[in-house]
């Protein structure tokens, strides 16, 4: 595969990039900090046995949509075309912090929903423009949403709303473009121990980035439209989805 990754400098994205690199997939990294990107690329080259400077990078900040098209064009030129785009970039803050800071709330809603959708649209157009490959898909768009988008919950009012919107967008893309050759993979992680949630208490069923990356890679290879990871979260959310509203008002999670 020829893969463009947005958000592989940390956490789940970094673990996924390492897995892809280890099996020899061609990679191109996008992110908001050029030095972090260069460090990640050199690390992936050493781990994956790639030639030095063979993994390209370009700055792409989810707060600056005017740079999305150029970043993807640079990736396209460097890879000689790409067939997979992965978005693991995202922003999180606690509901208390967001309610205390409307500007931060606006940033989170913009990054995690509106600008992620705008970026995905740039990626979608490029993937669908690839020449047909017989019965095979033209391309795969992989985006990390969250179980937080499954149900309105007190601790994630804004973050959950953004992820709910993102999940619906990805579902619609799957319905609209699957037959045209676009495979959409919507990943719904439960709690995963990364820097994003380092300040939060660790709940039951928490996962680690490496096994989560393994689940994501399996979903990419199979073209699975929705994947919960760690897998137990599928059953946790099945329960939470059917809890009556009166219960949801009383409980704190
Ligand atoms: N960890 C969890 O419990 C959990 C649960 C459910 C869903 N998720 C979702 O899974 C995805 C990955 O999360 P993670 O836990 O791996 O988070 P993480 O360790 O904090 O990594 C987030 C990544 O997003 C990048 N990023 C942040 N803001 C950006 C921006 N404006 N433009 C471009 N890149 C930006 C970061 O880049 P820098 O290096 O520049 O900071 C970093 O590479 C996110 O979408 C998150 O919402 C995580």
Judge whether residue 1 has pLDDT over 80: yes
End-to-end CA distance of the chain: 39
- Residues facing 235 on adjacent strands: none
Tell how far the Cα of 197 is from the centroid of ligand 1, in angstroms. 10
DSSP element (H, E) containing 13: helix 11-22
Q: Would you state the pLDDT for residue 172?
A: 98
C-alpha to C-alpha distance for 142 and 86, rounded to whole angstroms: 5
Tell how far the Cα of 30 is from the centroid of ligand 1, in angstroms. 13
Which of 244, 237, 120 is CA-nearest to residue 171? 120
Tokens of 171: 């579902």
Residues 11-37: pLDDT tens digits? 999 999 999 999 999 999 999 999 999
Q: Across the chain, what does the average pLDDT equal?
A: 96
pTM of the predicted model, to two decimals?
Answer: 0.97
C-alpha to C-alpha distance for 88 and 140, rounded to whole angstroms: 14
The finding on whether 194 has its CB within 6 A of some atom of ligand 1 is: yes
Tell how far the Cα of 250 is from the centroid of ligand 1, in angstroms. 30
Q: Which atom of ligand 1 is nearest to the CA of 13?
A: 16
Which of 153, 18, 125 is CA-nearest to residue 68? 125
Which residue puts its alpha carbon closest to atom 44 of ligand 1?
Answer: 90
Residues 179-214: pLDDT tens digits? 999 999 999 999 999 999 999 999 999 999 999 999
The finding on whether 197 has its CB within 6 A of some atom of ligand 1 is: yes
The finding on whether 68 has its CB within 6 A of some atom of ligand 1 is: no
- Residues facing 136 on adjacent strands: 133
Residues 83-98: pLDDT tens digits? 999 999 999 999 999 9
Which of 110, 113, 119 is CA-nearest to residue 63? 110
The finding on whether 9 has its CB within 6 A of some atom of ligand 1 is: yes
Which residue puts its alpha carbon closest to atom 31 of ligand 1?
Answer: 62
Tell how far the Cα of 88 is from the centroid of ligand 1, in angstroms. 6
pLDDT band at 134 (very low <50, low <70, confident <90, very high): low
Measured N-to-C along each axis, helices 34-48 and 11-22 cross at an angle, to the nearest 10 degrees, of: 40
Q: Would you state the pLDDT for residue 133?
A: 64
**The Cα angle at residue 9 between residues 85 and 215, in degrees rounded to 5:** 55
**The Cα angle at residue 130 between residues 127 and 136, in degrees rounded to 5:** 85
Which residue puts its alpha carbon closest to atom 33 of ligand 1?
Answer: 61
The finding on whether 207 has its CB within 6 A of some atom of ligand 1 is: no
Mean pLDDT of 229-240: 97
The finding on whether 33 has its CB within 6 A of some atom of ligand 1 is: yes
DSSP element (H, E) containing 76: helix 68-79
């Amino acid at each position: 595969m020829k893969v463009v990754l947005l958000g592989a400098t940390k956490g789940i994205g970094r673990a996924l990039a390492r897995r892809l690199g280890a099996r020899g997939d061609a990679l191109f990294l996008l992110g908001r900090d050029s030095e972090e990107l260069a460090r990640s690329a050199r690390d992936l080259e050493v781990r994956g046995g790639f030639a030095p400077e063979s993994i390209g990078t370009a700055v792409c900040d989810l707060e600056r949509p005017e740079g999305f098209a150029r970043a993807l064009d640079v990736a396209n030129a460097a890879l000689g075309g790409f067939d997979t785009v992965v978005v693991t970039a995202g922003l999180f803050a606690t509901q208390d912090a967001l309610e205390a800071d409307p500007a931060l709330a606006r940033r989170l809603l913009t990054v995690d929903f509106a600008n992620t959708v705008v970026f995905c649209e740039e990626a979608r157009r490029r993937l669908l423009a690839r020449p047909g490959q017989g019965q095979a898909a033209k391309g795969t768009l992989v985006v990390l949403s969250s179980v937080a988008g499954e149900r309105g919950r007190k601790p994630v009012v804004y973050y959950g709303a953004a992820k709910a919107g993102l999940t619906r967008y990805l579902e619609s893309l799957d319905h609209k473009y699957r037959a045209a050759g676009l495979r959409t993979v919507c990943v719904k992680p439960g709690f995963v121990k990364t820097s994003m949630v380092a300040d939060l208490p660790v709940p039951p069923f928490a996962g680690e980035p490496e096994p989560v990356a393994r689940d994501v890679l399996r979903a990419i290879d199979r073209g699975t439209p929705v994947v919960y990871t760690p897998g137990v979260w599928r059953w946790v959310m099945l329960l939470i989805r059917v809890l009556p509203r009166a219960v949801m008002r009383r409980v704190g999670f």
